[in-house]
Structure 1
Amino acid sequence: MMLSKIQNLFAIALIMCLSSCSSDDDSSDSMTELHGTWSVVSLSIETAFDLNNDGVASRNLVEETPCYNGDYVNFNSDGDVRVVTALTDISVNVNSSTDYNYTYECLPGIDQESTWTRNENVVTITMLGYTLSGTISGNTMTVVIPNFFQIQKYDGNAYYEVEEDVTVVYIKA
């Protein structure tokens, strides 16, 4: 059984989301829109999986696992931010070259505080050594993390590593 980890995925996504806003923005209306709690509604990767075994493969890991229920970013008006996110281990189980499936395990994640800045509709956060940016449109914040999702796949003959982009979408509660 080969394991593949989504390491600090949500932390980075949350950081990127937070990177979309800056506390030095001149518009108090824009600042007010950012402050508060933003909940994860989608965490999409490039490859679809049927991790919940419902017969429907999806690129959205929020639909496929309960791991990210309760993940959020909370922006404070003083420029502080709190990012809470889970992690997931995805494993490939191989019975034969034509009989294999993927399973997951929810892992303890990250509960990290940092600071945020905003420039127009882009929020920026630096956390855990990463600087991330997210784009805000109305009550939706979108963060794209290039080549962040790492998983070991199986093609029927051999295992191989893949890095995929991750897109995390948050909705302001």
Structure 2
Amino acid sequence: MNTFVAAAAGMLGWLIVERVKAGHATTLGAASGAVAGLVAITPCAGFVGGLSPIIIGAIAGAVCYLAIWLKFHFKFDDSLDVIAVHLVGGIIGSVLLGFFADSAVNKAGKDGVLFGGGWSLVGEQILAVVVIMAFSMVVTLIIGLGLKKSLSKGIRVTSEEEEIGLDLTQHSENAYSLERV
């Protein structure tokens, strides 16, 4: 139930902010908001209950929309919005667990700030985020450098290939045929 509710709240949070900032809500925004809610509730699902998944999902949807806006503002290349939705959403969920964790939901867990547990869990969650990010960056760098050295063309495509479209230049086919028969 937590995942369903957080996804719905994430969708709603995204659409509200999108409507305010862009003047309209989109179906892509609805889908992205739902994913943001799902990503954020993932570290929390077994440790929160009640209204917490709604709040976590809504915050994730709203903040992830703002991360997309920042991506465009700073011209950051994140074509699939992986950073804005998955990284930002994951950080939000991980940190918010420190606030919303409820030992009444899971006896093996600790209480978060809002359930009388103090700030220690928030600190532990932030430390976990930092350690995971550092580990992921090092491993990604190693893999990226290995690929760069082993692939004759490198790991980036040319501007011309991007303009034509990677489905056609890399796979010799179009993913979507939009021509009428």
Higher helix share: 2
The TM-score normalised by the length of structure 2 is 0.24
Asked which structure has the greater CA Rg, the reply is 2
The TM-score normalised by the length of structure 1 is 0.25
Higher RCO (Cα < 8 Å, 6 or more apart): 1
